[in-house]
Structure 1
């Protein structure tokens, strides 16, 4: 059994995978006759190829993911970035692996982050990640990503003998257990 700690979600720790979107740590300036704080350019949208354009969507999870969560799938978007910004200020998990040249993620480089609900992320193009892991029923996220003619979602299904589990949260739980059933 291998354990993967929950890495603190900071810009420095998340930089290999993209941008941390956290308005609380950003510089701002006043607009609209001094009535509004603008936290400008928290992340850049990468639409990649010439046919791409940035789109804004809402993703809603009617039911929270049950913990512990068995991880069976990772995905990546090779043509552009994908940002997730929580709308309900609820914590959520982020499971990522660096971009790779081939068609498989490097599972030895997986990182697990926990957003405090005020932090969003912008996955860099090609970064492997688990689909949205919401911890509260009805949680909503503003999503900014790429739409275009080129295929922009690769999926990798974990082999049957490899099981990754995200534990239930408790005061003493801060790891992701990785179990290889062939061991």
Structure 2
């Protein structure tokens, strides 16, 4: 039986997926030239005989399994999730928007991966596709000192040797770049705390085919929610050690009797009429 929490009566609006808005939860991976809502640009160098721009460290795939209770080592894994479109439900009549214009997606489960980030890369979905999109639903972690589930316990920091300190100052032995920028790549995120999801501060974002997303280690998130006409193939990159509760922890979202529960409210003007209509079928 899954652990659960009781959802407040909460309707989340959908926001565009931008790096600045999503920074607390992870990283948005996209071409910085086309990106909006990004206050810092990643570092960039020319590559491939000047025919390409290489953006440095646009996201981080870190491994925190050395902090796992089992001690089982992890390996880098690449899986594919073929995510079918979800059906939307009519929004409650109390909404400011008419039911013809808005729908809702009930959030019934959240999950996290306490020792690894997880990156979802959509395949074959164009940014301008007017028939299919996907939702990214996340929640911060409540502060607590209780650890009912396996979670990283940081080892004391070790002092670096003089050899390591001086080696970090040495230039890279190979550098084929002909140009570089003064941009700033995102810092790797540390695991969140061991607490439950804080539904009162949850967020929902709408993503298109030009955007991949990295959930930071320990970030509570909903399983991928595809909306519209067709399934989306996601390549998913993370670390795993095949120990169930160290790889994935789930939390069921239950609703009190008479309550609408925890929903993402989707306005057709935000989603696009074609995606919205197909998601309601």
**TM bucket normalised to smaller:** 0.7 to 0.9
Range moving further from structure 2, 147-156 or 119-128:
147-156
CA offset at residue 14 of structure 1?
0.8
State whether residues 82 and 145 of structure 1, in contact with CA within 8 Å, keep that contact through their aligned partners in structure 2: yes
**Distance in 1, Cα, partners of 2:117 & 2:141:** 12
Please state whether the residue corresponding to 1:108 is helix, strand or coil. helix
> Please, which of 129, 141, 164 is the counterpart of residue 262 of structure 2?
164
Q: Taking structure 1 as reference, are residues 2 and 160 closer, same or farther at Cα in structure 2, changes over 3 Å only?
A: closer
**Distance in 2, Cα, partners of 1:74 & 1:113:** 15
> Please, which of 114, 119, 125 is the counterpart of residue 206 of structure 2?
114
Q: 1:64 is matched with which residue?
A: 85
Alignment of 1:146 with 2:223, yes or no, is no
TM-score of the pair, normalised by structure 1: 0.82
Higher strand share: 1
State whether residues 10 and 263 of structure 2, in contact with CA within 8 Å, keep that contact through their aligned partners in structure 1: no
Q: 1:180 is matched with which residue?
A: none
CA offset at residue 28 of structure 1?
3.5
**Distance in 1, Cα, partners of 2:270 & 2:206:** 15
**Distance in 2, Cα, partners of 1:69 & 1:3:** 9
**Distance in 2, Cα, partners of 1:13 & 1:172:** 17
The Cα offsets for residues 143-172 of structure 1, whole Å up to 9 and x where unpaired, read as: 111111442211010123262223455116
Structure 1's unaligned 5+ residue stretches are 175-183
**Distance in 2, Cα, partners of 1:140 & 1:5:** 25
CA offset at residue 141 of structure 1?
1.3
Please state whether the residue corresponding to 1:41 is helix, strand or coil. coil
Of structures 1 and 2, the larger Rg is shown by: 2
Alignment of 1:94 with 2:136, yes or no, is yes
CA offset at residue 31 of structure 1?
2.2
CA offset at residue 23 of structure 1?
2.1
State whether residues 23 and 42 of structure 1, in contact with CA within 8 Å, keep that contact through their aligned partners in structure 2: no
State whether residues 119 and 214 of structure 2, in contact with CA within 8 Å, keep that contact through their aligned partners in structure 1: yes
Structure 1 segments (4+ residues) deviating >4 Å: none
Range moving further from structure 2, 81-90 or 128-137:
81-90
Structure 2's unaligned 5+ residue stretches are 1-8, 34-41, 67-72, 89-103, 127-131, 143-192, 273-281
TM-score of the pair, normalised by structure 2: 0.55
Aligned residues: 173
Q: 2:22 is matched with which residue?
A: 14
Range moving further from structure 2, 151-160 or 20-29:
20-29
CA offset at residue 99 of structure 1?
3.0
